[in-house]
Chain A
């Protein structure tokens, strides 16, 4: 059992919402004692623990209290009731570029910004090279920050925050930084940091990103922990709940002729969900000989063929794939946005072929998730465990992947 580094116990938080926002002397004197406010309890007793090295995602609807929770972990806000204990140095990627001065150079701003995270000058000196290299701004580092594009600005800010080397890293919705290439880089860096044993807490709406990095998701609703568990179990429940909620709110519009998609498996876990604006009507895994197959060697090329229909042509679609091993490990995931950096256009009906040059994975059973979604993560059709393929090599080799190889002995 590893050590608990974040211990949140029965935390409650109330905000006073004033009807009249009188901050002046006149208001204070005239309305002393009868300033009307409503108590708005954002959190009603949230408890959870996070162990060292865990990566936890906080999810929930806007206003559910997840950002408030994160702010309390950061010690920007304090709970009204309950306790929060944190062990180790905390760094937050909540506000990127805090304290940047537009007229100072990138280099000088690195010093300012890093010092806000509590780094000493010596520590910053040690990290300066890494920070500049990560930001990819070597050529501009001595120019004033006001001459930077917003992308450059965010890159510099992220580079500083991620190089703090904290024990606990708190992140709020920042993985939307820069272009796809830089996002991917941030992601790799996060995974590297996680690999080093840093505890990570992320607030995000991008479920797919959370699934890639988090071991655990905590769903907060109405100021309470609604569900706490593996992302793959929590997210479908949450998505379904959200879409039901949206449905209720949008009922008046009533333009959902086809209705949304929702299917569950025998155990009650959600298998398929989404708005239904686009839906997969058929999925086949096709071998090199053109026939439908489920058994492959690690080297056999295969094609995933998808037939789809859409209620109307969609210009902002992303088609995503995730392959899981039977024990739940994510083996590989990608989508068209990662690969091409721009959304794809779908017609009212059509096909998608994804060619894969062999799974290169160890013998075993692999299940495939497919999704059509928007770049912001809103799902048109998310289909979990759509099909399973068996990988069997002629020989049994140790390890998790299969490497294409050749001996050359003289």
Chain B
């Protein structure tokens, strides 16, 4: 385990260049290039504000576009890990089959690249948040990196496991597409969790890690208040254990990767 971590550290420049390649290569051939990283979330924002101000006018929450937007960007990151992360090793099979490198590099690079993409979008989120008149609470903002770290570790743990299993069982990608959709609806992104409060599933509902993460983002960037740190700390602990399990599972399964791909 320690050996693996050391080796991944030795290959950090590979992780860096895979991230670089992904971020730069993604929009390289397009006219607007890297600007798309910002344009896409801005367009999403425009669509949501239009939709919620015209079509679903009855929404009970104030500044509903911001309410949704603040949660949607972190969700997009996790959702990308769930769907794209699962097939990340398979997608890199030409590399995996031809060259030796610690295979963990692939999911780590995928999650990191999606994470960096989210960080760039968060710039827009923060700007919109400030311009929408959300009180700028320094203490709350100081918690933002912690929330992001928790989400990163959680997403990485999940991605390690699913990317390794997907090599042997390709149906997983398709299953996870459905899971991602369902997961989105059990996470309070488009609605307020108070709606579910009366249900008998509510306690189960609250165990959803993404619920805790999305709510923390919303506390900081929508309500301008410090998130619930105890919940985050517990989730951090769980995420670290999950990541550890992820490394173990991946380590077991990686030896036969290039035999089955």
Contact = CB atoms under 8 A, between A and B. Distances in A.
Q: Do the two chains bind?
A: yes
A98 B16 contact: no
A104 B24 contact: yes
Given A76-B98, A92-B100, A119-B13, A25 B25 contact: no
Contacts of A94: 98-99
Contact of A116 (B14, B29, B97, B256): B14
A281 interface: no
Interface in A329-343: none
Most buried by B among A28, A75, A90, A101: A101
Interface residues of B, number: 29
Contacts of A75: 100
B4 interface: no
Contact of B171 (A24, A76, A99, A101): A24
Interface string A94-126: 110011010110001001100111111100100
B179 to A, nearest CB: 14
B176 to A, nearest CB: 13
Contact of B14 (A15, A74, A118): A118
A111 B17 contact: yes
B95 interface: yes
A184 interface: no
A23 interface: yes
Contact of B11 (A95, A98, A112, A115): A115
B255 to A, nearest CB: 5
Nearest to B105: A116
A324 interface: no
Given A15-B259, A116-B14, A121-B13, A76 B99 contact: yes
Contacts of B14: 115-116, 118
Nearest to B11: A118
B28 interface: yes
Contacts of A108: 20-21, 24
Nearest to A170: B100
Nearest to A15: B259
- Secondary structure dominating the interface of A: loop
A23 B29 CA distance: 35
Interface residues of A, number: 32
B255 A112 contact: no
Contact of A118 (B96, B98, B101): B101
Contacts of B21: 99, 101, 104, 108, 112
B174 to A, nearest CB: 9
Interface string A19-35: 00001110010000000
B170 interface: yes
Interface in B76-108: 94-101
A112 B17 contact: yes
A78 B252 CA distance: 12
Contact of B99 (A92, A111, A121): A92
Contacts of B98: 76, 94-95, 98
Contacts of B20: 108, 111-112
B258 interface: yes
Nearest to A120: B13
A118 B24 contact: no
Most buried by B among A15, A76, A95, A119: A76
B183 to A, nearest CB: 20
6 cross-chain pairs, A with B, having the tightest CB-CB distances, nearest first: A95-B98, A103-B28, A115-B14, A112-B17, A115-B13, A115-B17
